[in-house]
Amino acid sequence: DAGVIQSPRHEVTEMGQEVTLRCKPISGHNSLFWYRQTMMRGLELLIYFNNNVPIDDSGMPEDRFSAKMPNASFSTLKIQPSEPRDSAVYFCASRQLMGTGANVLTFGAGSRLTVL
Amino acid sequence: AQSVTQLGSHVSVSEGALVLLRCNYSSSVPPYLFWYVQYPNQGLQLLLKYTSAATLVKGINGFEAEFKKSETSFHLTKPSAHMSDAAEYFCAVSDGGKLIFGQGTELSVKP
């Protein structure tokens, strides 16, 4: 398997522009997570989906952020409009949803976003 | 809610020395605990996990961690550091369907 695939790997944009980050989870995984990593706040969970349904979006910073999972093999995280404080590395991770929380998350390589 | 606290944002050791990275958890139920490693410009990868089967857990690259309920700790150790171990290490706890991470500890290895 190719692992969790994220695109783009790097994005530089100007304040006010729309940003869309993409994620393809591992085939057969039915739980998907979006995390944001910054120096100041570390790794923050933004949202996660089980079977394409959003379960917890309490970590989404504000209404400028939205995430979708239209099918089992694709998810997007959108920021509109973007602001400099959104600059971070955004990680997507997936796992098989089973009976316990012991299942391992597999992470993508991340999308590094810089908003000027 | 479950949480983990990593003591020390940066640890420096000499090559060949013992590595000890500290993690304490807060959980009202028996936790599932994890250690992940992140190399520069890469995603996180699993080192090891604790799922109550055994208190001493062995992971990849010679790392191991011991679950101590009395101390609410899950410290990561490696007997002899290698230059390639330089990275950031994250302790994490499963909270329902979510994985909650600590702030991370950056490990430097001096030659």
Give me the pLDDT at residue A99, please: 64
- For the residues A63-77, what does the mean pLDDT come to? 96
Report the DSSP pairing between strands B105-110 and B10-14. parallel
Residues of B with CB under 8 A from a CB of A: 32, 34, 36, 41-46, 49, 51, 90, 94-104
Give me the pLDDT at residue A2, please: 80
Could you tell me the pLDDT band of residue A83, with boundaries at 50, 70 and 90?
very high
Instruction: Kindly tell me if the per-residue pLDDT of A22 is higher than 90.
Output: yes
Instruction: Kindly tell me if the per-residue pLDDT of A70 is higher than 90.
Output: yes
Could you tell me the pLDDT band of residue A100, with boundaries at 50, 70 and 90?
low
- Residue numbers of A between 59 and 78 with CB closer than 8 Å to B: none
Cβ contacts of A4 on chain B, cutoff 8 Å: 43
Q: Which of A31, A101, A109 sits opposite B43 (nearest CB)?
A: A109
pLDDT in tens, A101-116: 667 899 999 999 999 9
10-residue mean pLDDT profile of chain B (111 residues): values are 91 97 88 93 92 88 94 96 97 88 96 94
- For the residues A86-90, what does the mean pLDDT come to? 97
Give me the pLDDT at residue A48, please: 95
C-alpha span between B59 and B63 (Å, rounded):
5
Give me the pLDDT at residue B53, please: 75
Peptide bond between residue A81 and the one before it cis (omega within 30 degrees of 0): yes
Residue A108: phi and psi, rounded to 5, are: -80, 180
Closest Cα in chain A to B37: A107
C-alpha span between B63 and A19 (Å, rounded):
39
On whether any CB of chain B is under 8 Å from the CB of A18, the answer is no
Closest Cα in chain A to B32: A102
Instruction: Kindly tell me if the per-residue pLDDT of A32 is higher than 70.
Output: yes
C-alpha span between A66 and B84 (Å, rounded):
38
Q: How much of chain A, in percent, has pLDDT values that exceed 70?
A: 96
**Residues 6+ away with beta carbon under 8 Å from B49:** A102, A104, B32, B33, B34, B35, B57
What are the Cα distances from residue A41, in Å, to A26, A53, A99, B102?
A: 27, 26, 30, 10
Give me the pLDDT at residue A36, please: 97
Closest Cα in chain A to B33: A102
Q: Which of A97, A102, A108 sits opposite B94 (nearest CB)?
A: A102
Q: Which of B41, B96, B102 sits opposite A101 (nearest CB)?
A: B96
Handedness of CA A113, A114, B3, B6 (dihedral sign): positive
Cβ contacts of A56 on chain B, cutoff 8 Å: 97-98
- Between chains, do B104 and A42 touch, taking CB under 8 Å as contact? yes
Average pLDDT, chain A: 93
C-alpha span between B24 and B11 (Å, rounded):
16
